[in-house]
């Protein structure tokens, strides 16, 4: 798969994944909200590790820098 998530975006997604994971564990919320936070954290972690985002692909966007090939 073609990478469409740049390094800054990947770093921010990893930080958000950790934050959501911590919230899913310590936040005093119901089970469905906890599961929602955990699922979103896992999605962010997966996109940060893989370097590709399905949402960006569907919108035709990319945060990767344009490489000059010559």
Query: Would you list the DSSP string of 1-67?
Result: ------HHHHHHHHHHHHHHHHHHHHS---HHHHHHHHHHHHHHHHHHHHS--HHHHHHT---SPPP
In this structure, are residues 64 and 4 in contact, taking their beta carbons and an 8 Å threshold? yes
* pLDDT tens digit sequence for 28-61: 888 889 999 999 999 999 999 998 888 888 888 8
pTM of this structure: 0.81
Distance CA(6)–CA(67), nearest Å, equals 12
* pLDDT tens digit sequence for 15-36: 999 999 999 899 888 888 999 9
Distance CA(27)–CA(36), nearest Å, equals 12
């Amino acid at each position: 798969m073609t990478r469409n998530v740049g390094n800054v975006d990947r770093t921010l997604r990893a930080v958000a994944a950790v934050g959501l994971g911590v919230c899913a564990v310590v936040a005093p919320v119901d089970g469905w909200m906890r599961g929602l936070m955990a699922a979103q954290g896992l999605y962010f972690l997966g996109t940060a590790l893989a370097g590709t985002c399905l949402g960006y692909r569907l919108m035709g966007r990319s945060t990767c820098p344009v490489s000059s090939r010559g």
